[in-house]
Structure 1
Amino acid sequence: MVVVRLFFATFLFATILLCAGRAEAHFNLNQNVRIHHVSHSEDGLDVYLRLPMPYLVAELVGTEGPDGLPKPAPYTYNQIEDGVLMHYLDQAALHKDPTGLARIAENGLVLSIDGHRQTPEIVSIRLHPLGQEPGFATLNEARSALAPRDVFPINEEIYVGEVMVDVHLRFVTGEVGAYSLSYTSYPGLPGQDDTANLILDYNGQDVRTYRARGLMHTPVEISGSATAAVSTFFAEGIRHILEGPDHVLFVLCMIIGALNLHSLLARVTGFTLGHTVTLILGFFGFAPSGAWFIPTVELAIALSIIYAAAMAVWPPEKGHGDLKTFAITSGIGLLHGFGFSFMLHQILRIDAPNVWHSLLAFNVGVEVGQIMIVLLVWPLVLLLRKQPGRIWVGSRTVVAACASLVAMVWVVERAEFFLWPLV
């Protein structure tokens, strides 16, 4: 019994840690997506890379000088605004030597063939204000974005965190079958561990889409295998639900509130059906596009955890209870599905190659992650139910109460979006 109680305490403590605040960093990161288009030819590989500028320069900030400011990173300058250190794009330096910035990108990216790092040629570089960048979902869009034009289209001051960088690198290696991509850089940015990396490999008529999370210090192996490519989205689906504390808490409350295996299946099936529907609808754009919608969904997800915790403590009566629970969890699953789709749509456009394969693999991964939680918790629930009634009721109540407290914190945080205009 001590072990079981310790499990629940550890589970909740880990969840709370996941919700802890982010560490401070030199640069704001307003976007954390990196896209790589890799085109094969008889001469070698062409890599078209898009990434936010902070990934290139954040770790290059120098030590503090006599004026109290750190030495600016290349292609930036610093200013103090309202007591806060801000970093701006140095457009004069950029126009004088844009290749230098591309060289920073080249130094951070590692393309290896048979374990040997390859040295690229720099073909071109373009910068865009965040939100005004041209499309980059397909190889043709990437080539168009890097076509000859001004290296940066505006003249007014702009924060480094609001600049996207496109770079075209050419690796003259001869024909290539398999290779790997990784990075050596460590920018020290908030949110960098959640970086969404998308790699699209174009080899003849075949297009393979790979997905990786984080800074990609571990190489991503590109072999041309369709199974290997799809498996990266499958793994991301599992990771997304297991590392999403709001999703984990909701599934946990569903499990401890189930009266029996039949009730558990009704809850899990309803949730699966609901979030599958809206994951697909949200990804393909069948959802409101107003700025209010995503914060509303996030707030509703937090409230759904409190509701699920209440259902766990006061489960519906037998008879039509399972049908009612199925309907409720299906509705709540609709909310969580939008949460999944927002993340996926960030990195995978509707017109991206193999979009259905990737979307299906991601959704299956989400289901497997959910099943893993069920397989872990349900045997412990059955064990607790064999103990005297007060032990099970007390344990269930404590878990539900802790989940509610965490969710209430999220409710307060997420409600600020709607309250700040009134302050």
Structure 2
Amino acid sequence: MRPVFIFLAALFGLLSHPVLAHFKLNQNVRVHHVTHSDAGLDVYLRMPLSYLLSELVGPEGQDGLPVPAPYTYNQIEDGALMHYLDQAALLSDPDRLAILAADTVDLSAIGQLQLATVMSMRLYPLGSEPGFATLSEAQDATTAGDVYPTAVGETYVGDVMLDLHISYAAGPVGTYSMSHRSNPGLPGQDETANLILDYNNGQIRTFRATGLMHDPITISGSATAAASTFVVEGIRHILEGPDHVLFVLCMIIGALNLKSLLARVTGFTLGHTVTLILGFFGIAPSGAWFIPTVELAIAVSIIYAAVMAVQPPDQEHGDLKAFAITSGIGLLHGFGFSFMLHQILRVDAPNVWQSLLAFNVGVELGQLMIVVLVWPLVLFLRKQPGRVWIGSRAAVAVCASLIAMVWVVERAEFFL
């Protein structure tokens, strides 16, 4: 029973994960469009302003407040320290802020770190920023209009997006690497979604990375290399998503044999593939209630899957029933996948189908990894005295249900 106790301890560790497994990327996304020419490379970058300024806050002064970061001012609101954009400072000297932003990006080509030249910069209040999914949108966003809309009132630093055009006079470049040096110390920064779209010789390659990108990402003209970054992200999305892990576990312990397991996994795969595509292309309700409803339904689906795992099997139509149920539940999880991915890709983004397919392949590989790890343990426990397997399966189902119940309560708060 020792492996079971170790497994259950790890399972309870899932409680330390954030309540929402999706929809966390609306303010921690960085998009890079990179064009090639005989002169070198041009990078059009969109990132949250807080990623640049958070780590530049100074020590505490005599007034008890920290020295504001450049282009900001601080004040206490309801006992909390808030950081505002100093619009007067920005409009009087925007070039310095642009240089600070450019200095956080490292681009290496031909074996050398390249010197960045700032071409233009624009700031936008969150929610009013123009499109940035295509190269033409990125070029317009970094040049059109004022540096910052003058009619906007006081704005939190965290509610501002920065668009930047940087040029690197590196000459003709095929392969290069890119990284970021900033470490803002913000919640959720390790899940930052980085998208790099490389335009070279009429080809567009889309690369994906998660985190602060302190380790350089190598960008080349290889379609396989670009797709592999989305495969990796699909795997991560499953393995680092506690709700997905719990549901797959419940599917595994509820399967009588390999055929039964295949029916469950196939149903789930088909279900989430359908709604991943539908949700990504906007064929889903757009009301503010829909995303929280999906999150709540996903938590409830785990409880249902746990109950189904310990019920006596239907000998006549058990596999068909399990296929239908997991297909339906897969529909819910697919919306979760699609909304997460839609934060960084849009329908008119280049190579959207390749990226979507590669991400889905990663999701399937992530599920397969869990199955490969857990199924042998299930087979081992089934060879033990009956009470061992029954008790182990019940313990896993109860733990999964308890964790999911916590999520149900927390996610239901949206509707109160």
The answer to whether the aligner puts 1:276 opposite 2:273 as a matched pair is yes
Which residue number in structure 2 is paired with residue 323 of structure 1?
A: 320
**Residue 81 (structure 1) shift:** 0.9
Letter in structure 1 aligned against 2:145: R
Which residue number in structure 1 is paired with residue 235 of structure 2?
A: 238
| In structure 2, distance between residues paired with 1:348 and 1:10 | 37
**Residue 366 (structure 1) shift:** 0.2
Deviations for 1:260-309, whole angstroms, at most 9, x for unmatched residues? 11111111010000000000000000000000000000000000000001
Asked if 2 retains the 8 angstrom alpha-carbon contact of 1:102 and 1:167, the reply is: yes
**Residue 185 (structure 1) shift:** 1.0
Asked if 2 retains the 8 angstrom alpha-carbon contact of 1:29 and 1:161, the reply is: no
1:42 maps to which of 32, 38, 41: 38
2:95 maps to which of 99, 119, 132: 99
| In structure 2, distance between residues paired with 1:148 and 1:119 | 25
Which residue number in structure 1 is paired with residue 141 of structure 2?
A: 145
The answer to whether the aligner puts 1:308 opposite 2:298 as a matched pair is no
Which residue number in structure 1 is paired with residue 375 of structure 2?
A: 378
Which residue number in structure 2 is paired with residue 81 of structure 1?
A: 77
The answer to whether the aligner puts 1:410 opposite 2:407 as a matched pair is yes
Asked if 2 retains the 8 angstrom alpha-carbon contact of 1:259 and 1:315, the reply is: no
Which residue number in structure 2 is paired with residue 253 of structure 1?
A: 250
The answer to whether the aligner puts 1:206 opposite 2:197 as a matched pair is no
Query: Aligned ranges for residues 15-34 of structure 1 at < 5 Å?
Result: 15-19=14-18, 31-34=27-30
SS at match of 1:134: coil
Which residue number in structure 1 is paired with residue 47 of structure 2?
A: 51
**TM-score normalised per structure 1:** 0.95
| In structure 2, distance between residues paired with 1:184 and 1:146 | 22
Letter in structure 2 aligned against 1:398: A
Letter in structure 2 aligned against 1:205: G
The percent identity for this pair of structures is 73
Letter in structure 2 aligned against 1:63: P
SS at match of 1:347: coil
**Residue 20 (structure 1) shift:** 7.8
Deviations for 1:224-262, whole angstroms, at most 9, x for unmatched residues? 111100100011001100000000000001100111111
| In structure 1, distance between residues paired with 2:373 and 2:408 | 28
Asked if 2 retains the 8 angstrom alpha-carbon contact of 1:77 and 1:87, the reply is: yes
Asked if 2 retains the 8 angstrom alpha-carbon contact of 1:29 and 1:189, the reply is: no
Asked if 1 retains the 8 angstrom alpha-carbon contact of 2:90 and 2:97, the reply is: yes
Which residue number in structure 1 is paired with residue 394 of structure 2?
A: 397
SS at match of 2:129: coil
| In structure 2, distance between residues paired with 1:29 and 1:255 | 30
Letter in structure 1 aligned against 2:10: F
Structure 2 unaligned segments of length 5 or more: list them: none
Distance 1:73 1:191, change over 3 A: same
**Residue 315 (structure 1) shift:** 4.3
Distance 1:29 1:395, change over 3 A: closer
| In structure 2, distance between residues paired with 1:335 and 1:320 | 23
Asked if 2 retains the 8 angstrom alpha-carbon contact of 1:29 and 1:54, the reply is: no
Deviations for 1:367-401, whole angstroms, at most 9, x for unmatched residues? 01001100110110000000000010001111111
> Size of the alignment, in residue pairs?
413
**Residue 15 (structure 1) shift:** 2.0
Which residue number in structure 2 is paired with residue 24 of structure 1?
A: none
Letter in structure 1 aligned against 2:215: T
1:136 maps to which of 132, 135, 140: 132
2:363 maps to which of 363, 366, 369: 366
| In structure 1, distance between residues paired with 2:249 and 2:26 | 32
**Residue 322 (structure 1) shift:** 1.0
Letter in structure 2 aligned against 1:286: I
| In structure 2, distance between residues paired with 1:78 and 1:200 | 36
Deviations for 1:127-164, whole angstroms, at most 9, x for unmatched residues? 01111101100110001111242101133111111100
**Residue 168 (structure 1) shift:** 0.4
Which residue number in structure 1 is paired with residue 109 of structure 2?
A: 113
Which residue number in structure 2 is paired with residue 336 of structure 1?
A: 333
The answer to whether the aligner puts 1:178 opposite 2:175 as a matched pair is yes
**Residue 42 (structure 1) shift:** 0.8
1:350 maps to which of 347, 352, 356: 347
**TM-score normalised per structure 2:** 0.97
Letter in structure 1 aligned against 2:147: V
Which residue number in structure 2 is paired with residue 25 of structure 1?
A: none
SS at match of 2:285: coil
Which residue number in structure 2 is paired with residue 266 of structure 1?
A: 263
Distance 1:19 1:130, change over 3 A: closer
Deviations for 1:76-131, whole angstroms, at most 9, x for unmatched residues? 10011111111110000100111111111111110011442111111010001111
Distance 1:204 1:29, change over 3 A: closer
Deviations for 1:30-83, whole angstroms, at most 9, x for unmatched residues? 601000000001100000000011000000001111111111011110011111
| In structure 2, distance between residues paired with 1:38 and 1:19 | 34
Q: Where do 4+ consecutive residues of structure 1 move more than 3 Å?
A: none
Structure 1 unaligned segments of length 5 or more: list them: 22-27
The answer to whether the aligner puts 1:12 opposite 2:11 as a matched pair is yes
